[in-house]
């Protein structure tokens, strides 16, 4: 049995990926950049430090990057955050993991205040033992910083071979792989199964509800070996 499970949030436990993409699209447009929605959506899961360089050259990034990110953050909280819902099965899945004596952690590129809002939306505030947000990582996914921070915050050391990450994006799997962690993918964030497998996911489920239903046969219930 995995001793600890680290969850991504956006697209994994809450249905927020499209809203993040819309907020970024509006922010870029406000500063004079018209960028396709699908191009932005494919980058969701990264923090602004890794997302913006995909669309802005270094001069633009230096001149406007901070303003764009600040505008996006304010827009997202005011316009989109109130519309976000949790995926079915999140709390029962977390309860199952905790009842089995496994440690529960969240590792997200979200801001700390957004993280708290997501925990309330998913009704898991009382179940999460460790949480890390964008302020805990020098670089966001697909860099491994956020997972390294989560591992360091586990009260009792856990071998990496006994930690499983759950995420919806290839950026989650790539970041986890760089931290020598295995990733279970979920399709509820909208990334194709092929993309998740190519990024390194060892198993794929439709979302938290199916992962709960198939928990006993999933990598979460098996002792994982790299």
For the segment 155-202, what is each residue's pLDDT rounded down to a tens digit? 778 999 999 999 999 999 999 999 999 999 999 999 999 999 999 999
Domain end position, chosen among 83, 105, 124: 83
Residue 146 lies in a domain: yes
Residue 30 lies in a domain: yes
Specify whether 101 is located in the same domain as 159. Answer: yes
DSSP string, 164-193: EEEESSHHHHHHHHHTT-EEEEEGGGS--H
Specify whether 126 is located in the same domain as 26. Answer: no
pLDDT grade for 224, boundaries at 50, 70 and 90: very low
The Cβ-side half-sphere exposure at 128, using a 13 Å CA radius, reads 23
Instruction: Produce one character per residue of 93-125: b if its CB has 16 or more CB atoms within 10 Å, e if not.
Output: bbebbbeeebbbbbbbbbbeebbebbbebbebe
Domain end position, chosen among 83, 100, 122: 83
Token pair 């009842």 is found at 99
* pTM for this entry: 0.93
Q: CA-based diameter of the chain, in Å?
A: 51
Specify whether 51 is located in the same domain as 67. Answer: yes
Specify whether 45 is located in the same domain as 28. Answer: yes
pLDDT tens across 112-166, in order?
888 999 999 999 999 999 999 888 989 999 999 999 999 999 877 899 999 999 9
Structure tokens that stand for 43 in this block: 């980058």
Rg (CA), the chain: 17
Specify whether 41 is located in the same domain as 96. Answer: no
Please count the structural domains in the chain: 2
Domain around 29? 17-83
**pLDDT of amino acid 225:** 45
Specify whether 118 is located in the same domain as 47. Answer: no
């Amino acid at each position: 049995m995995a001793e600890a499970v680290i969850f991504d949030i956006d697209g994994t436990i809450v249905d927020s990926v499209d809203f993040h993409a819309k907020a970024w699209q509006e922010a870029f447009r406000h500063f004079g950049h018209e960028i396709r929605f699908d191009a932005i959506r494919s980058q969701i899961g990264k923090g602004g430090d890794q997302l913006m360089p995909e669309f802005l050259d270094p001069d633009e990034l230096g001149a406007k990057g901070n303003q764009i990110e600040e505008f996006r953050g304010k827009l997202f909280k005011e316009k989109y955050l109130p519309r976000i819902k949790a995926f079915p099965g999140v709390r029962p899945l977390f309860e199952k993991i905790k009842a089995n004596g496994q440690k529960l952690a969240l590792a997200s590129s979200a801001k700390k205040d957004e993280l708290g809002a997501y925990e309330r939306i998913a009704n898991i505030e009382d179940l999460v033992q460790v949480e890390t947000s964008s302020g805990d990582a020098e670089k966001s996914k697909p860099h491994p910083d956020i997972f390294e921070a989560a591992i360091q915050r586990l009260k009792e050391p856990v071998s990496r071979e006994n930690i499983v990450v759950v995420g919806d994006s290839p950026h989650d799997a790539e970041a986890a792989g760089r931290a020598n962690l295995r990733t279970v993918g979920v399709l509820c964030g909208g990334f194709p199964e092929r993309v998740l497998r190519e990024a390194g996911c060892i198993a794929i489920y439709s979302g938290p509800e199916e992962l709960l239903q198939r928990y006993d046969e999933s990598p979460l219930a098996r002792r994982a070996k790299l």
